[in-house]
Amino acid sequence: MRQTPASLLSAFCQTAKATLVALTVLSLGAAAAQAASNPRYAAIVVDANTGKTLYSSSADGSRYPASLTKMMTLYLVFDALKAGRIRLDSRVPFSKYAAARPPTKIGIRPGGSVTVEEAILSLITKSANDAAAALGELIGGTEANFARMMTAKARSLGMDNTTFRNASGLPDPNQRTTARDMATLGIALREHHAKYYPYFSTTSFKLGKQTINGHNRLLGRIKGVDGIKTGYVNASGFNLVTSIKDGDRKLVAVVMGGTSGAARDNQMAQLIKTYLPKASTRSTGLLVARGNTDEPVVQAYAAALPHTDAPMPIDRPGASVVEQVLAEAKVKPDLQVASVETEKTARLKESVARSAAVVAASIDPVATASTSSVASIQANTNSRSAGWAIQVASLTSAGEAQSTLSRIASKATGILSADAAFTETFTKGGTTYYRARFGGYGSKDEAWETCSALKKKQIPCYAIEQ
């Protein structure tokens, strides 16, 4: 039978549609294969208009958040700004402790300071660990106390499987989250703090005479992407939370445990391409994220809070998250903020710290356990078990090795990711050496190509298989 032009066109369209479906199935099959071969992998795509989950893979599996932690640090900073407790031009002092946090960092010396806005931007672009700790101390008195406030806030938002131990995401075996909880936090940041959310689209900013560039390579690469955060430690792999708004469609997507920064970014790009067309164009008119955005701001109390992993909000209308934690712990706070240090509050902090240690021992065995397990986890961040790395130096000082990594990452922006920097130790002739390396390369060719680009910038290097 002779076919008409209309029938030929119809047949062509059906064939094209079948091919597109087959390609989509193949790409999702590849994602499933990656998840099966990589036990750290987890992902989720959530429609930010409706809260509906469009895709998930191990979304409720426990994972290390790495620098995704800073999303909650910023949430609490935005809370404080919203309530007028601090301003964008308020100074953030750097204690000896904060200044000593390992890279990535902005390198402010003890006693120095930056503005709140500069600290916010340094977390978003450079993922600065020293600035995260300094903000934690500004708001929480101590970073440990701030971490308890972070966990309490997580519970109030419905992040029931997340526990924070620090403000930065530096390795801690008990700092855990899930892909689903990180998606919840991403949506909450957009909905609860719309005024400050545009900071997440920052790609670079000036700090003094230095230009600091960001790590999020999807900004500008995919239309509509407006943040949010990257993260990496050896135990977690390469993490990314991404928000995208294209027309009336909005998504928040999470990829955790990527084998490299490029692999993570490509997986995220594929998820966005696949599921953005399936997102709703209509908002329900209600906030997707849980939580009372008008609750009183969390405050920085001079007295440290007794430790509790999972404080559940009590049924007391109008009570702030920190007040709820205090009520559960039956501790009366000193109402002077920690930033106003007096002799009286200093004595109180010392006394409460001793009492808190006793309380912590009874409710948190981790608080009194040997530090050997923590040290062993941290030691794991200094090595790679597989893949290829680029070595840029071998030094006898750990501090010099870390400074070298930070300096080279800044010099080679767009070539290297500071998230992938690490040190590896070895001993020769009784002397300990620290190899300064950047990891996450899946092949020899990828590592050598990157090294070639570095050499053009007069940065000596060589590629090595782990």
Residues 275-304: pLDDT tens digits?
A: 999 999 987 766 778 775 444 444 433 333
Q: Which residue segment(s) compose the domain that 421 sits in?
A: 382-465
Instruction: Provide Rg for the chain, Cα atoms.
Output: 24
> Do the domain assignments include residue 290?
no
Whole-number Cα distances in Å, 158 to 184, 248, 333 = 8, 26, 25
Structure tokens at 75: 């949430």
- Say whether both 140 and 265 belong to one domain: yes
Residue that is last in its domain, among 255, 278, 301: 278
Helix axes 143-156, 321-329, angle to 10 degrees: 110
> Do the domain assignments include residue 156?
yes
> Does 229 belong to an annotated binding site?
yes
Residue that is last in its domain, among 257, 278, 299: 278
Of 58, 70, 105, 349, catalytic: 70
> Do the domain assignments include residue 336?
no
> Is this prediction's pTM over 0.75?
no
Is 320 designated active site?
Answer: no
> Do the domain assignments include residue 179?
yes
- Say whether both 120 and 248 belong to one domain: yes
Which pLDDT band, with edges at 50, 70 and 90, does 387 fall under? confident
- Say whether both 423 and 274 belong to one domain: no
- Say whether both 72 and 186 belong to one domain: yes
Compute the distance between CA of residue 42 and CA of residue 236 in angstroms, rounded to an integer.
Answer: 10
> Do the domain assignments include residue 61?
yes
The answer to whether 309 touches 364, Cβ cutoff 8 Å, is: yes
What is the reported pLDDT for 407?
A: 87
The share of the chain scoring above pLDDT 70, in percent, equals 71
- Say whether both 237 and 386 belong to one domain: no
Residues 293-344: tens digit of each pLDDT? 444 444 433 333 333 332 222 222 333 444 444 344 333 333 233 333 333 3
Instruction: Map tokens 């993570």 to a residue.
Output: 264
The answer to whether 240 touches 258, Cβ cutoff 8 Å, is: yes
> Do the domain assignments include residue 359?
no
What is the total count of domains within the chain? 2
CATH number (domain holding residue 403): 3.30.70.1070
Name, in order, each residue with C-beta under 8 angstroms of 188's C-beta and a sequence gap of 6 or more.
75, 157, 289, 290, 291
Of 58, 122, 127, 156, catalytic: 127
> Do the domain assignments include residue 118?
yes
> Do the domain assignments include residue 211?
yes
Residue that is last in its domain, among 278, 313, 344: 278
- Say whether both 244 and 130 belong to one domain: yes
Which pLDDT band, with edges at 50, 70 and 90, does 429 fall under? confident
Average pLDDT for the chain: 76
Is 153 designated active site?
Answer: no
Is 127 designated active site?
Answer: yes
